[in-house]
Structure 1
Amino acid sequence: MPAEELTAGDFSEVDDPFALFGAWLSEATESEINDPTAMAVATVDPDGMPNVRMVLLKGFDAAGFVFYTNFESAKGRELTASGKAALLFHWKSLRRQVRIRGPVSTVSEAEADAYYASRPRGSRIGAWASQQSRPMEGRFALEKAVARYTAKFGIGEIPRPPHWSGFRITPLQIEFWHDRPFRLHDRIVFSRADDGADWTKDRLYP
């Protein structure tokens, strides 16, 4: 059954998790009021303490799920150190969620450059001005940095900062969850041993 023809109760018939995710994301784009591409990214710090925060998905295909950030931020340092991450999409309007786990890699320089160039000019300035996750003595310090880089890049293109790029999470596990009455939810998990291996599919107790 093609993923785009699925109803809520029969998604277990699909064998391609990327096609199913694409169908669900398309529906969420129509129904979610704000940020259907919002996802929680979970990492672990050097002391083994978990961290989680919301970011925006900027692209996905069979190679994985991509978002962009400052590599010197907390999440950037943690992703670089551990090489692993988990993602969570929750679409309340559809009563659905998708959980993803897998290894992390950086996107290519060409991918990072292309996405950076597509951002609003103010966002590109912000990538230079913000020392993300580090202590800030006051709001004025950020505003001063924005003014400085606005003047520096007043004319012409704004180059991508060397510390700003993207991460790709290549999934080894993708779980689809759909709310059902009496908490008897539908859960289907796709798993594989490594990138390129065949997917296995299991239905889980709710």
Structure 2
Amino acid sequence: MTPTKALTGPAENDVQRGLLVPPWHSRILDDGTDRERWLAARANAVIGASDAAGYVKASSIEAYTAAKLKPSSFHGNAFTEAGHEWEPRLLASCGLQQSTVLIHAPGEMGFGATPDAMKSTPGGIILGEAKVKHNKIVHGPTPREFRQVAWQMFCADWDRVLYTEFVWGEIVNGELRNGAIEPKHLRIFPKDVEHLLQPMIDIATPVLARVRSALKFAKELQL
């Protein structure tokens, strides 16, 4: 697989000037500036974090494969739009800038993720994940969200990730619940979710092999 679009703009200019570029730069599959192109890149035999987060039963590998191969007809709703509005604000509350870049894991282009924020520091990589919770009180990430964070760390480069800043806003009538000044935060370190990673990889590996085989067969039929 090759990147859907060559990276252009400020990051490319940084390379030309010889300035420091983020450690994931060579692993970008798509810059995320075009939603349809990003979806196409992710559908092209890439197991994303939202996919892997649902991989909990080895006995369901065939079902996971079928779900990955099924075309998606969902293009968002009112909650999706609210998320697009709130996520940058939630991330900004912990000093992070929103990212739309789809990256692949070191050594495997079929394992990918689009963390809501990625920041390169001298000490390592800081990730951000923002969640908008509508009309509900939430005390922290769900088990699925913890798995999502673990997969994002894996794709960002596990040994370089310092932590993920998990931030969520409880939104009622378009505002933070009870007039809260800031959203809620939880700092998740790799050691906190390390036990979740290998079981996902053990399922994602055969799923990816099956998806690649199916897509290859479909392509051959078109020749």
Give the number of the structure whose alpha-carbon radius of gyration is greater. 1
Q: Same fold (TM over 0.5)?
A: no
Instruction: With the length of structure 2 as denominator, give the TM-score of the two structures.
Output: 0.29
Name whichever structure is richer in strand by fraction. Answer: 1
- Give me the TM-score of the superposition, normalised by structure 1: 0.30
